[in-house]
Structure 1
Amino acid sequence: MHRRFADRADAGRALADQLKHYAQRDDVVVLGLPRGGVPVAYEVACALGAPLDVLVVRKLGVPWQCELAMGAIASGDALYVDEELMRETGVSQPEFDRVLADEKAQLARREALFCDPRRASVDVTGRVAIIVDDGLATGASMKVAARALRARAPAKIVAALPVAPHDAAGRIGDDVDEYVCVTAPELFFSVSQFYSDFSETTDDDVRAILARASSASGPASSG
C-alpha cells in the first residue's frame, strides 16, 4: 500500500524525514517549484534548518492536452523539450513555438511576482541544492529546474519528491546527483491521487510562505 498524504504540508514533513542527513548543515538550500512545490519545500526547509527560495518553472503543455508536458522552461533561459512526445502527439513546430512564447511570458510574470526586493535570493554556489515539488508525472519540470540550477554552480543537486512513478529516477537521469522520493507506485495516474487535499496553491500562498520563511531568523518548524 503506497503512502497517501493528507495535504502538501504532510507530504513535506514525510519528505523531510527522508532528507534528515542534510539537517542543520550550513551548505544546504531548499528550492521549491511554484506553485504546489513551495508548501512542501517550506516544511522541508523548516525541518532541515535550511534557507528556502523558489525556482520558477513553466510546463510546456501539449496544446490540446495542457497537463501533458512536451517540455518545460525555467529561470535563466533553461529549456527542456521531449522530442519523442512531440512526435507521438503530432505537435508541429509552430504550435510548439506558440506555447513556448506564452509560457515565457508567464514565467516572467511569476518571476516578477515572487521576487521581493526586500528578500535576497538564496546563493546556491558550492552548496547542496534540494529541489522540491509536490510530485512528479512526466519529469519535465524537474529536469529543466535541475538544468537551470546547474548553471548556478551548486556542489550537488538533489531532486526531492513526495510521490513519483516507480521509473521516475530513470527519467530524471543524470540531470541530478541524488534522487529522493517517499513513495513510488507502479500504478500512477496523477499526482493528485496520492493526496486527500490537493487544492490549488495560489500566487498569494507562495508569496506568504516565502515571506514567512524569510522573516524568521532561521527556519523554524511550522508544526
Structure 2
Amino acid sequence: MDAALKRHPLLVTALAPVIPHLLGSAFNIWYNMTVVDPLLITAGLKQRFIDTVIVWNPIAYLAAITIWTYLILSLRPAFHRLRRGEKVPADELDRVRRRLVHLPWYGAAISGASWLLGAIAFLVSLAITGRPMNAQLFWHLPISFGISGFIATTQGFFVIEWATQWGLFPLFFQDARPDRLKGIRPISLRMRGFMWAVSASVCPIGSLLLLLFAPPSPGTNP
C-alpha cells in the first residue's frame, strides 16, 4: 500500500473512501433486508422500495462520485507540475493547498449529505404512494441510513486524511507547513484523538443504542 501511495498518490486518495462506503452499504443492505423489508407489508410498498433503490442509488452515487472526482482532478495540474519540478504560481499553489487540507472535510460532507438525503428520499418515496405505512418505518429507515452514514463518513474521513498526509502533503508542502496557511484551522493532536474516540466508540455505541431502543420489527427476534 505504501508503494502504491508513493507511485499513485492521487489515485489512492481518490479511492480512499471506497472501502468505508462499501462497509456502510453492506450494513445498509443487511438492515434493510432483515428489519425494513418485513415492515413493507402494504401492497405496493415493497415494489416502491425496490423502484426507489433502482432510481435513487445511481443518482446518489453518480452525484457523489462526480463531486469527489472534480475535487481530486482539481489537484492534478499542480500535482504534475510539482512532480516535474516546475514552479506553480503562488496564488494557485495556495488555493490548491487549501483544498488539499480541507479534502477530508469535503469527503465527509459529501458522504454525510448523501446518506442523509437517502433516508429522506426513501421515506418521501414511500409516503407519496398514499398507502398506509407502518409507523416503525419512520424509525428503522433513519436508523439504517444513519448508522451506515456513521460508518462511511467517520472512517472515510480518516482514510482520506491518511492518504493526503502521506501521499500528497510531502509534494505540495515542500517549503511550507499546512498549519501555517492563512485562514486554515488545522486539527490539533488532541482534537484528532477526540475524533478518533468518537469514531471508534461514540458512533458505535450510539448506533447500538439506536438499535436497542428501536421498536421490534417482524424480521427481528423478540
Greater share of residues in helix: 2
- TM-score grouping bracket, smaller chain normalisation: under 0.3
Structure index of larger Rg: 2
TM-score normalized by the length of structure 2: 0.24
TM-score normalized by the length of structure 1: 0.24
Of structures 1 and 2, the one with the larger relative CO (CA 8 A, separation 6+) is 2
Greater share of residues in strand: 1
